[in-house]
Structure 1
Amino acid sequence: MTDYVRLWFRLVPAYAAGYFLSYGLRSVNAVIAPELMQELNISAAGLGLLTSAYFLGFGLFQLPLGLLLDRFGPRRVEAALLLVAASGCTLFALGTHLQALALGRALIGLGVSACLMASFKAFSQWFPIDRLPALTATIMVAGGLGALSASVPVEAALPLLGWRGVFFLVAALLVLASGFLMTMPDHQGAAHRESFGQQVRTLGSIYSNRHFWRFAPQGCVTVGGFMAIQGLWAVPWLMDVHGATRSEAANVLFLMALAMLAGFLFVATCSGFLARRGISPMLLLTVGMGLALVVELAILLDWAHPSWLWPLLGLSFSLGNIAYSQLTAAFPVALSGRVNTALNLVVFVGAFGLQWGIGAAVDAFVDAGGLTRANAFRATLGVLLVAQTLTFAWFLVPVKRASH
């Protein structure tokens, strides 16, 4: 067994396990939404606020996360945060009112906020740069499998465990994943320490950069909107607009996650091949985001069966992760970690606001506008689609690369 393979088996499964659980927790409320609304007697806006607390906790921790990863290393930071996520799952499982469950959901988001970025940092410490694309793909595949686990498998487990039992089980798995990480080797390289003033100036240089603001609006509204829909509103849409059963809706969610997984594998295995033939990653990103808007329009106007359109939507948005590498290419390498977390902050704050806002808009269209829930969902998606189209148009405006 080569040194690379030996190190791969020591490091990659531990970080992949964390991201698997992270992505599953992001999406699971979509399947259990009917039970939550019935048992807690909450509105669509309340359900949106409850579920989006994950994104708030996740997003707001992105800025300190970069400093913690540099100062203490990815192994310790992620292991500690996974225990926070486990406490959030336990609180969620025990909660009897909206506030307790929202707090539990926010703790879950905070606790899994390092899963992707910690793996990127660890791999950059331990592996040569030419190995990083394949390693990144492995983590994204683990996330795709996590999204799959939050669809049909969770729906099948509900009669046996109930939604509370599912969260107790995930809490136990998070504790195990944290312990698994602590068995990993620790990199002995010198920590990169910055003063608070240097940190603020670095962030200021990112947030004031035109390259950042080319990507940020689309990340916030378009990618954040997809995360809000996938993580909660896809199943209620399918049930209220198309009359699907919860089992049928979970099957569509499973197909969408499967399509996303295929997209991750495509980017990992084919993007380099395509780039050598003149099809750049930026072109793939542009085509993916443009196709996503067309598919959302098709969903809104019911142009085809949901079992075709929703997986195509997932496939389109799987190309959205290319934005991270394309944005960091516009900055010095030393800033790449903070650039990624800065974009992550915008994406997850957008997902938080939109997941809550979609529920509030549906309630408003029903209560004040007199629409049926099906038409209220359609009107809400129409408004979101207009906003996403505007951010896509802004993204298409090129930016001149500044010299470093």
Structure 2
Amino acid sequence: MPSSVRLRVFFLFAAGYFVSYVFRGVNLGFAPLITHDLGLSAADLGLLTSLYFIGFAIAQIPVGVLLDHYGPRRVTAGMLVFAAAGIWTFGASHGLGGLMVGRLLIGIGVSVCLSAAFKASAQHFPVARLPLVNGLTMAVGGLGGVVVGSPLASLLQTTTWRQVSIGLGVFTLVVAAAIALFAPRNADSHHQADVISQFKGTWHILKSGAFWKIASFSVVTQGVFYAMQSLWIRPYLLDVMNLTPAHAAALVSVLGFAMMLGCVGFGAAARGMERRGVSVYAFCGVGMALYVLVQVLMVLRVPLPPATLLAAYGVFGGTGILSYAVMAEYFPSHMIGRATTTLTLVIFLLIFGFQVGVGAVLSRWTPEGGHYPAAAHVTVWGILIALQLASAVWYVLPSRVLHKTERAAS
């Protein structure tokens, strides 16, 4: 296949994931303004922001079926229209109910972006290159995490969050049109099976011991990472590290850049380590363990510069993404759409739960001057670290399920 076609596939679908990532974290910048306008509590804000993730999650199984049946080009272009409608609803709302509807629509609309990118890559790139290509896709998406830091904070000093919402909707439609017009039509090739058979394939994945073994540690670490990055890391920086809003916004961008570097670096290194006898599964596990270690250092408030801790948090926070490449080794190509969307479903359900849960725990303390006490944040991190350690035990326990037998399934 010509390299120009592969590059076109990569950039178009990575742009879709960039849109998804911007929407994921845009409430980092919007939150203080929306909270001021509507008088939201931490629990309200956590629920509002997390509706993106529940919308994303509930759409995953039907999206996986659609991807495998109709292909990523048509499905992605169509679904992004819902995201544009969602952000316009969000920006036009003057009550919590309207904001919630808009946020839910956004989550549904961009629910296809990550899995479509992985599906298109699996169709056009050799399996050996997928860790790097998937890492690069995550890096492009990670730019969205950078944008919602200092750039968004600066923009909101000259315009309103409602005007930004209008602009985001227009940009989303431009990306949708580009994918519809310029993505290769052979990306729409699909496994010839009826919809009932497609859903049976999803059920097969959910019953798979290999799926749950691969997913165990990564879904929890990814759930924690994105729940914190997209909302709660900023309050932590303000309340515990006592940073100024401008410094906190800058560190959010640092985290985004670091995640990009981590995704690319770990993706590039994964196959090299495999040639040295270290499986992608094991390499992914080491990266996730280092991510948990960074969280422990943050909770212990070790005397390291905040930028160093946030950079390490970002670099290791995205390593669980290698699990998607591991899935491609255990499931046949015509089931990759459903395998990746099922993995994403579990991750995003956990992000939803963690965002709501963190808000609920923080709300047990009374904020003073708009800030929660350090003890509240330490309690939150302690619970999250304990959950990740429990999932790590399952991940490392010996098992016979990882024998790549799933690739024979249909």
TM norm. shorter chain > 0.5: yes
Q: Aligned-residue CA RMSD in angstroms?
A: 2.2
Q: Is the 8 A contact 1:125 1:187 kept in 2?
A: no
Q: How does 1:156-305 map to 2 (within 5 A)?
A: 156-184=154-182, 185-187=184-186, 191-303=190-302, 304-305=304-305
TM-score, normalised by the number of residues in structure 2:
0.91
What CA distance in whole angstroms lies between the structure 2 residues aligned with 1:353 and 1:117?
21
- Structure 1 204/5 Cα, relative in aligned 2: closer, same or farther at 3 Å? closer
- Code of the residue aligned with 2:321 in structure 1: it is N
Deviation at 1:129, TM superposition (A): 5.2
Secondary structure of 1:242's aligned partner: coil
2:392 matched to which residue of 1?
392
Q: How does 1:48-127 map to 2 (within 5 A)?
A: 48-127=46-125
2:378 matched to which residue of 1?
378
Cα deviation 1:320-351 (Å, max 9, x = unaligned): 11112223423344433211111110000100
Deviation at 1:7, TM superposition (A): 2.1
- Structure 1 366/399 Cα, relative in aligned 2: closer, same or farther at 3 Å? farther
2:21 matched to which residue of 1?
23
- Structure 1 308/9 Cα, relative in aligned 2: closer, same or farther at 3 Å? closer
What CA distance in whole angstroms lies between the structure 2 residues aligned with 1:131 and 1:397?
28
Q: Is the 8 A contact 2:77 2:176 kept in 1?
A: yes
TM-score, normalised by the number of residues in structure 1:
0.92
- Structure 1 39/217 Cα, relative in aligned 2: closer, same or farther at 3 Å? farther
Structure 2 unaligned regions, length at least 5? none
Q: Is the 8 A contact 1:366 1:372 kept in 2?
A: yes
- Code of the residue aligned with 1:110 in structure 2: it is I
What CA distance in whole angstroms lies between the structure 1 residues aligned with 2:189 and 2:375?
57
Deviation at 1:240, TM superposition (A): 1.4
Deviation at 1:310, TM superposition (A): 1.6
Q: Is the 8 A contact 1:30 1:236 kept in 2?
A: no
- Code of the residue aligned with 1:330 in structure 2: it is Y
What CA distance in whole angstroms lies between the structure 2 residues aligned with 1:216 and 1:17?
26
- Structure 1 324/302 Cα, relative in aligned 2: closer, same or farther at 3 Å? same
Cα deviation 1:289-333 (Å, max 9, x = unaligned): 111111111111111332111210111122111112223423344
Structure 1 unaligned regions, length at least 5? none
Cα deviation 1:220-260 (Å, max 9, x = unaligned): 43211111000000001111122212111111111111111
- Structure 1 220/277 Cα, relative in aligned 2: closer, same or farther at 3 Å? closer
| Number of residue equivalences | 399
Identity of paired residues, percent?
A: 35
- Structure 1 201/5 Cα, relative in aligned 2: closer, same or farther at 3 Å? closer
What CA distance in whole angstroms lies between the structure 2 residues aligned with 1:125 and 1:279?
26
Deviation at 1:70, TM superposition (A): 2.4
- Code of the residue aligned with 2:159 in structure 1: it is L
Q: Is the 8 A contact 2:61 2:338 kept in 1?
A: yes
Deviation at 1:8, TM superposition (A): 4.0
What CA distance in whole angstroms lies between the structure 1 residues aligned with 2:219 and 2:187?
36
What CA distance in whole angstroms lies between the structure 2 residues aligned with 1:282 and 1:322?
8
What CA distance in whole angstroms lies between the structure 1 residues aligned with 2:273 and 2:167?
42
The range that moved more, 98-107 or 181-190, is: 181-190
What CA distance in whole angstroms lies between the structure 1 residues aligned with 2:354 and 2:180?
36
Secondary structure of 1:329's aligned partner: helix
What CA distance in whole angstroms lies between the structure 2 residues aligned with 1:355 and 1:374?
18
- Code of the residue aligned with 1:360 in structure 2: it is A
